[in-house]
Amino acid sequence: MDLVRVLPADTPPFLLDRTLEALADKVVHTHSKTDPGVRAIEKFVITTAKYDSARVTLFSAARTQAKDQWEALKPSPELDPKLQQSTLLPLDDPDAALLDAIATQKDTERDMAAAFCAQIAELEEANEAEFAALWTDKVVLRIRNYADGLASVDEDAKLRDQLADLLANHVRTELLPDQIGKARGQSLLRSRRTRKNVSRFEAALKSCKPDLTSVLSSLDKFAKKQGVPEVSVEQVEGAKDALMLEMWRRMEKPKTDAPLLFLLLVLLLLAREGPGAVYATGKFAPKLMKVVKGRVESEVGEKLERWKESAKKGVLMAEERREMVRLAEAGKE
């Protein structure tokens, strides 16, 4: 009930506040027997049901504003979401004046802010889960396979050390910057927690030693702070299958040059015969081939020697290419 409407139109302004207060007390007293929760708020007297309904409307509006501000963070994730009560309600709402009066009460202001923050927290949690999924798939599982593959190269300690340095450099300068950039591009750094942790992680990578042990230690610390879940053996094996599939598909491309084709074959044979998948560039193909020869039949080893020389000269014949692809695909399930 809007008490102003029941007052005479010619009520003197200097009597208005006192008259409204007296009228409100009378109305509340009259209805308190049937509704103990009836109350006066500024110029309104409302029932418990109306009051509760209005608060629900305000809390819903606070959550809607939180969602709107969250969407606005896509291009500018550094902005800090904050409840803007002045723009909370549409001006054409028929209950705008009543809602505004209730919204200015301290307990309602507190509860609206809590509803706003709760909605932001839900959105941040979902955003962090999406980031964790991307990070697990593109970083954690990939590096886990690379580390397992590297550890399996135990025939040549010097080669393993060289591959470790290569992997550390790849992770620091290529893999991680690329995946963090993709996460930003997909708006997965809107959570304040994620932004803070990623910023510290990037700084740690720049300052830490460039060896693989230090890089993996920084990665592990970041994952724990960010709440990225531990991966299962099944996930690691599934990621290995995906890595091998990538290599198979590259081998099948007609434009794949001879040195890369040979490297991919060697890496696939290594992955087939041992854990993980070795990360390597073309210059390591001859040394890795020697490791492979110790794990495969002599006939395959002889073919690898022939293909190595042909690939080095860039003169792989069409039939040689097809046979290399067939050998690689022999391990497909």
Encode 125-153 in three state secondary structure.
HHHHHHHHHHHHHHHHHHHHHHHHHHHHC
264 within a domain of the structure (yes/no): yes
Spatial separation of the C-alpha atoms in residues 90 and 61, rounded to whole Å: 10
Among the three residues 122, 155, 186, which one is the final residue of a domain in this structure?
A: 122
289 within a domain of the structure (yes/no): yes
| Number of domains present in the structure of the chain | 2
3-state secondary structure of 39: strand
Mean pLDDT along residues 264-281: 94
75 within a domain of the structure (yes/no): yes
| pLDDT, averaged across the chain | 87
Spatial separation of the C-alpha atoms in residues 145 and 271, rounded to whole Å: 10
DSSP designation for 232: P
pLDDT for 333: 53
Domain holding 62, by residue range, is 3-122
pLDDT for 262: 95
- Is 47:30 a contact under the CB 8 Å cutoff? no
Residue 230: left if φ>0, alpha if ψ -120 to 50, beta else—which one? beta
Condensed to tens digits (0 to 9), the pLDDT of residues 221-264 reads: 999 999 999 999 999 999 999 999 999 999 999 888 999 999 99
Condensed to tens digits (0 to 9), the pLDDT of residues 284-332 reads: 999 999 999 998 899 999 999 999 998 988 888 899 999 999 999 886 6
pLDDT for 24: 52
65 within a domain of the structure (yes/no): yes
Residue 117: left if φ>0, alpha if ψ -120 to 50, beta else—which one? alpha
Other CB atoms within 10 Å distance of the CB of residue 11: 12
Condensed to tens digits (0 to 9), the pLDDT of residues 139-173 reads: 999 999 999 999 999 989 999 999 999 999 999 99
177 within a domain of the structure (yes/no): no
One DSSP character per residue, 170-231 reads HIIIIIHHHHHHHHHHTTTT-SHHHHHHHHHHHHHHHHS-SSHHHHHHHHHHHHHHHTPPPP
Residue 53 pLDDT > 80: yes
Task: Please list, in sequence order, all residues whose beta carbon lies within 8 angstroms of the beta carbon of residue 131, skipping any fewer than 6 positions away.
Answer: 183, 188, 189, 191, 194, 226
What are the two backbone dihedrals, phi and then psi, of residue 167, each rounded to the nearest 5 degrees? -65, -45
Q: How far is residue 254 from each of residues 261, 285, 321, measured CA to CA in Å?
A: 10, 20, 9
Measured torsion, CA atoms of residues 248, 272, 164, 238, in degrees rounded to the nearest 10 = 70
19 within a domain of the structure (yes/no): yes
Residue 13: which pLDDT band, with cuts at 50, 70 and 90?
very low
Among the three residues 103, 122, 141, which one is the final residue of a domain in this structure?
A: 122
Condensed to tens digits (0 to 9), the pLDDT of residues 60-107 reads: 999 999 999 999 999 888 888 999 988 887 666 677 877 888 888 899
**Predicted TM-score of the model (pTM):** 0.84
Spatial separation of the C-alpha atoms in residues 87 and 76, rounded to whole Å: 20
Residue 187: left if φ>0, alpha if ψ -120 to 50, beta else—which one? left
3-state secondary structure of 233: helix
Condensed to tens digits (0 to 9), the pLDDT of residues 33-42 reads: 555 556 667 6
pLDDT for 224: 96
Residue 276: left if φ>0, alpha if ψ -120 to 50, beta else—which one? left
Q: How far is residue 139 from each of residues 177, 179, 228, measured CA to CA in Å?
A: 11, 7, 11
Condensed to tens digits (0 to 9), the pLDDT of residues 105-120 reads: 899 999 999 999 999 9
Residue 11 pLDDT > 50: no
Q: Which two tokens stand for residue 304?
A: 């690898």
156 within a domain of the structure (yes/no): no
Residue 3 pLDDT > 80: no
215 within a domain of the structure (yes/no): no
Match 């391990």 to its residue by tokens: 331
pLDDT for 180: 97
Among the three residues 122, 146, 174, which one is the final residue of a domain in this structure?
A: 122
Spatial separation of the C-alpha atoms in residues 130 and 208, rounded to whole Å: 27
